[in-house]
Amino acid sequence: MERLLKCESYNFLQSQAHSVDWFFLSMAGAASLAVTGVIDKFIIGKYIRNPLVYLVALVILQQIFVVPILIYAGWSFVYPQSVYAMVAGFAQVILWGAYLQALQVEETSRVAALVYVFPVFVFLGAFVFLGEILTLRYYAGGTLLILSAFLVSYRPAKKDGRIGGLSPALKYMAVFWVFTASYALAAKYLLGFMNEWHLLLWTSLGGFMMVLPLLGRKEIRKEVSEYLLISPYIFSVLLADEIFDFLGRSAFIFAYSVGSVALVSSVSALQPFITLFYVVLLGLFVPGILPEEMDRRTIALKIAAILLIVAGVYLVS
């Protein structure tokens, strides 16, 4: 009996440790990716002529992390799962492209909030493809996340005659939601066949193969070389963006390995709150660096949406 109690106690503590692990890894991922959202909006608004070229430059720069992964973990090619991981890398490029298009037409804080409708698609996929069973509480949390996203995307009418309505970024974000959910589900599945480092390796190489044909166009090669070889300032900003992106993607992949893919995706919905915090902080110290509506009504809508996000995260965590 004593041995049984010790075993049950150990299993409980191990379960609690895993719960803490995936939660804090998700939070770390959200905080890192919030930084990349701010950087992306800043550089696209001031220096980038074509978001597609910007995406190509980022994917190429991302390959600098492949070398240390290879040195640390080796290749470990597993057929056909490594091929599937490369296809997941294709999905990443598509979702990033949709995200950058949304940033072109919308504020950073609004886009960051719209990101987190994708857990709803993850819920459905996790139930259908992975057999994850979630309680009513988790679905209630997911519903709150959806409501928060639509609330923050709504633009109230202005006194100067500008018409309100839903954000023009919604059409791009719909593509983002589907491909982000697909990537999250694929990552959870693939982690049953490879470790986290090899998943990062093969998805990065898959993304590189996705953008490689675009370098056949002279105008794209020329602009990419400007960002990576000619302008030290833009290169430094892109490198910082990729470092935070790598940290964020790594944190989420490690979280997927120890937690439910649906719950990890939902907890990451705290990113809009973190993004808004970054934006407000930048506005205080560097006014005008990012175009954001900061009137009382808009701020009230954003705060209301964030409160819904916090409530949703509480229900699913």
**Helix orientation angle between 2-46 and 51-62, rounded to the nearest 10 degrees:** 140
Q: Measure the CA–CA gap between 128 and 110, rounded to whole angstroms.
A: 30
pLDDT over 70, % of the chain: 77
Model pLDDT for residues 161-194, shown as the tens digit of each residue: 444 556 778 889 889 988 988 998 899 899 999 9
Instruction: Write down the number of H helices and E strands in the chain.
Output: 14, 2
- The structure's pTM equals 0.76
Output the pLDDT for position 270: 67
**Helix orientation angle between 81-105 and 51-62, rounded to the nearest 10 degrees:** 140
Model pLDDT for residues 66-82, shown as the tens digit of each residue: 989 999 988 889 899 99
Q: Measure the CA–CA gap between 210 and 86, rounded to whole angstroms.
A: 9
